[in-house]
Chains A and B, each alone.
Chain A
């Protein structure tokens, strides 16, 4: 009988400490959730600010002002448009001249060149 009591008391203490640990962990988790929520809100607000800023920088008025100041481009005239099927055929390949310049040979891509960096340039 006494042994049983001791066992029960032991089980009680174990259970209590286990429950305490769970509670402590859950508090920590709840704090983390709250923190993450706050972070999310901050990020979301920052995104909203950046979106507004982007929209402001992207307004046609600003782009037009910048284009007028820095570019020599003109508005497109209707006669500058044409249909795709009226595009002339691709011109036949230019015959290489006998006296090829040396720089051109170096810049020409080799058979196993992959990127934009020529192999011979290394």
Chain B
């Protein structure tokens, strides 16, 4: 073998001495080797093409799917569909290929009567290669236009976003534009999560999308909205809003701000009256903030439940005078300050701890910074620039500091859930994850006392109308006067009711807010929280508690006993 190769090489290298026959054989052999090599390369390439052609075909069909940008389904916490994609045909034209524009316009407007004939004529007469005529037509319209047989007119299948529940979950979901890009709410958040980049690469197909589970419970959301609409009509309020949140995980179970909009009709969403008051509006929360002041005082260790504060006289500060709405004109104990909702008492309490302590506590509870959730819309709280003693006095009872209601919900949840501040979320979250995010802000004992105070307030305070039998509700009312033309108005008020449920071991927090409710004959003309927000809250609780898996109990102790029991357990 080796000898032959050597001979071949020699015959090629030293051609002159060798025999002609040998030389010819060697040359033919070389040619055979060369051709065999070339053909085997061709054969290998053929095999490679044959095996990979499948992939090429697959990719083509994927790009066809991606013409219309697909979005993932949005589901509620139980898997009910809140938003989904449906394929709809869209009508387009290639003006250069159209022969008779007038005929085309006439035929098309006959099938699609809402099409503007002049606009269509203008578009078809243009020299462009591609124009949309109408996005999202029905299947029967597509069929009819197809049968007209107009040259230069065609259809493209696009994804249309559908919100089967209409306006029920509007503010959480937000909406999309005609190109299926999220403009508001969770839809916009989804785009921020890399979906926009997928669209750009043309890879956002139906198969790649994983549905998103929200924390919202559709049934609870609907019930809350139903009651809030009824309340808005009954009390002739400008707006009504409500949140139900899980105090332990920070999940928002329901969030309604009336008036809202239908995401299927995004034009409504731009109306400023329909904005989400709970995240994009900031309000002086009124007496609801007293819960924060009391928690601060009790947590400092310098004030106990048996301490008392002088509320005999209005509190004079400079030229301002702080009065009580339910004036008792005597020395009040701490629980009495809470249940009579005494402005003087809470103001004195905050003053006794000092301005800096007050400010630091509110900062710790996240009331002074912008609260960010998955929703792109958020509002910065209005914090006084120079925070003096007068500011502390007014902020102690909820005036002079405007926060987003969702922010207040987060703060009060921390006061009752055992002292952990959990950032609110619209996505499903489990307890371990919530614990990881949570920050301890007050002692568990203080949280225990706050639950007692909230329950006491429902048993014999300003929120007695919320005492739904069997559910052991606790709560705090709030009525704040709205600023009209630089002065606090006596008639235009914002009433709110914050309830915890059940008060001995809170699982849910409910906030009901009414903007400018009117006094009614059956409320004796009063428009304070106890007469409107509280009964609405009671109705909501009675309706949603079974949905939230809270069973009624009738063997529950009075608030005073509750504190005794828990004190024993703690020892």
Contact = CB atoms under 8 A, between A and B. Distances in A.
Contacts, number: 70
Contacts of B554: 79
B162 interface: yes
B206 interface: yes
A48 to B, nearest CB: 5
Given A48-B86, A52-B162, 20 more contacts: A33-B57, A34-B57, A44-B206, A48-B84, A48-B87, A49-B86, A49-B87, A51-B84, A52-B84, A55-B164, A56-B164, A60-B219, A64-B226, A75-B543, A78-B469, A78-B545, A79-B552, A81-B470, A81-B546, A81-B552
A48 B81 CA distance: 11
Given A51-B81, A76-B546, A81-B546, A60 B57 contact: no
Contact of B469 (A34, A45, A60, A79): A79
A53 B164 CA distance: 7
18 contacts: A34-B61, A41-B65, A44-B206, A48-B84, A48-B85, A51-B84, A55-B81, A58-B80, A59-B165, A60-B223, A61-B165, A61-B222, A64-B226, A78-B542, A79-B554, A81-B470, A81-B546, A81-B552
Interface string B130-167: 00000000000000000000000000000000101110
Interface residues of B, number: 31
B168 interface: yes
A21 interface: no
Interface in A30-72: 30, 33-34, 37, 41, 44-45, 48-49, 51-53, 55-56, 58-61, 64
Given A48-B87, A60-B218, A78-B470, A37 B61 contact: yes
A101 to B, nearest CB: 42
Interface in B444-492: 468-471
A59 B551 contact: no
Contacts of A51: 81, 84
A19 to B, nearest CB: 11
Contacts of B162: 52
A61 to B, nearest CB: 6
A59 B65 contact: no
Contact of B86 (A30, A52, A77, A83): A52
B165 A55 contact: yes
B206 to A, nearest CB: 7
Nearest to B75: A55
Contacts of B81: 51-52, 55
